Amino acid sequence: MAYFWRIRHSHQKDSSGGEISPVQCVGRTPNSGSELVLSEDEKSDNEDKEETELGVMEDQRSIILHLISQLKLGMDLTKVVLPTFILEKRSLLEMYADFMAHPDLLLAITAGATPEERVICFVEYYLTAFHEGRKGALAKKPYNPIIGETFHCSWEVPKDRVKPKRTASRSPASCHEHPMAEDPSKSYKLRFVAEQVSHHPPISCFYCECKEKRLCVNTHVWTKSKFMGMSVGVSMIGEGVLRLLEHGEEYVFTLPSAYARSILTIPWVELGGKVSINCAKTGYSATVIFHTKPFYGGKVHRVTAEVKHNPTNTIVCKAHGEWNGTLEFTYNNGETKVIDTTTLPVYPKKIRPLEKQGPMESRNLWREVTRYLRLGDIDAATEQKRHLEEKQRVEERKRENLRTPWKPKYFIQEGDGWVYFNPLWKAH
C-alpha cells in the first residue's frame, strides 16, 4: 500500500524561513505548479456544529414514506437522491477531520515506552475518536463529497499535554475546554488534508501528519449504503495505516459500519461491526466490536475490545463501555483505568476563512447549501445541491466521452489503496 511522488518544491521555505509542509499547499499537485497556502492563514474554527434535535416533521415523513415505497431491502443507496432536510451542514470530508478532535491522544501514541504500551495507546485513541465525529443524537447525513473536493485544517497541541495516557497523571478537563498553546514553539502541529478521489464508487482519502513527532495516518474509505427497512446502513470499506516513524511501526486498522435507525420518527445513529488493528512488526493486534442494540432490550452504543500479543497468545488489555460515553480498560497486571469521552478536552480545528479557500474546498463549495439550511429554506438548499451535483454529472460525462480518467490532486492509487502523494515516510 505504498506509492510516492517526488516534487521539486517539497522543501520550499515560508516567509519566516520555515519549511512548508505539502499538506499546507492547497494548489500543489504532482503534475502542476504550486499555489501556497500558509498555515498562518488558518484560524480557530468556532463554527457551531450542533444540529437541531427535532424528530421528522409530518410533511417530511410523507416524503420519506414515498421514498421508502420505491426501495427494496438491501438496495444500494449510492445513486438514490435523498431529501435535503436530512443533511447536517458539513461534508463527509470534514466529518473525517472531526474524528481527530483529540489529537493529544493520537500524538501520545509514539511516546509509549514499549510496543505494548503504544498499541494500547492506539486502541485508547481509536475508541475515543468517534464520539466527536457524531454531533448530537440526531442521525443526519453529511454532504456526499463532489469528486475533486478537498478539506484542509490543522490542530495545535500544547506539548505538555502529549503524554502516554497510561503513565501520565492528567488533570480532569471539561469537554467545553478548548486547549490552545499561546506560544507556537510550545505546541505540536498536526496537519490534515482530505480529498474525494472517486465518484463511482464514492471513495474518500485523508492524510494527517505531525513532522515533529514523526507520525502520520493515511486512510482511504469507500462508503457503501443500503436500505434496511426502517434503517439505513453505511459500510466503511477500506483501511487506514498509522505510521510511527520513530519506531518503524505500522498499525493497519479498519472502520465500523454506521446505522441510521428509526428513520420515520426520531432518527438516531449507532455504530456496528468488528474492526481490527494490526502491527506486523511487533506482533500485537486488537479486535474491537461495536455492538448494535438488540431488537428487545439491551444497551446502546456498546463497544468491547481486546489487545493481544500474538507470538505468545497473551491478552494484554481488555476494554468495554460506550464509544460516546465511559470506557473502562483492564490491563494484564490487574490495573484498570476509566476514560469518560464526554470530559476529554476537544481541540478546535484551525481552518482558513472562506474568502481564502479555493472553489473545491468543502466549506466554500457547499457554502450556499449550508447557508440556506441554516435559514431553514429547504427548497433553496435543494436547488443549490442539485446544481452542484448536476455540474459533477456533466463533467463526468465529458471525461467519459474524451476517455480522460479523473486525476486527484493529493492521492495516488496503487492496487486497491490510495496514498498521499508526498507522505512523511518518504520526505527527506
pLDDT digits (tens, 9 = 90+) for 335-382: 999 999 999 988 989 999 999 999 999 999 999 999 998 898 888 998
Q: How confident is the model at residue 231 (pLDDT cuts 50, 70, 90)?
A: confident
Whether residue 303 lies inside any domain: the answer is no
**DSSP secondary structure of 63-106:** HHHHHHHT--TT-B-TT----GGGEEEEEHHHHHHHTTS-HHHH
Q: Is the pLDDT of residue 23 over 90?
A: no
Whether residue 144 lies inside any domain: the answer is yes
Whether residue 283 lies inside any domain: the answer is no
pTM above 0.85, yes or no: no
Weakest-pLDDT range from 27-41, 220-234, 360-374: 27-41
Reference 95, options 26, 241, 177, 196; nearest CA is: 196
Overall average pLDDT of the 148-171 stretch: 78
Overall average pLDDT of the 135-154 stretch: 82
Q: Is the pLDDT of residue 230 over 60?
A: yes
Domain hosting 94: range is 43-162+187-267+346-420
Highest mean pLDDT among 21-35, 75-89, 368-382 belongs to 368-382
Mean pLDDT, the chain, integer = 80
From the number of C-beta atoms within 10 Å of its C-beta (0-12, 13-18, 19+), residue 206 rates as: buried
Q: Is the pLDDT of residue 217 over 90?
A: yes
Say how many domains are in the chain. Answer: 1
Whether residue 297 lies inside any domain: the answer is no
Question: Grid coordinates 469528486 are at which residue?
Answer: 147
Whether residue 307 lies inside any domain: the answer is no
Whether residue 306 lies inside any domain: the answer is no
Highest mean pLDDT among 130-134, 233-237, 351-355 belongs to 351-355
Whether residue 322 lies inside any domain: the answer is no
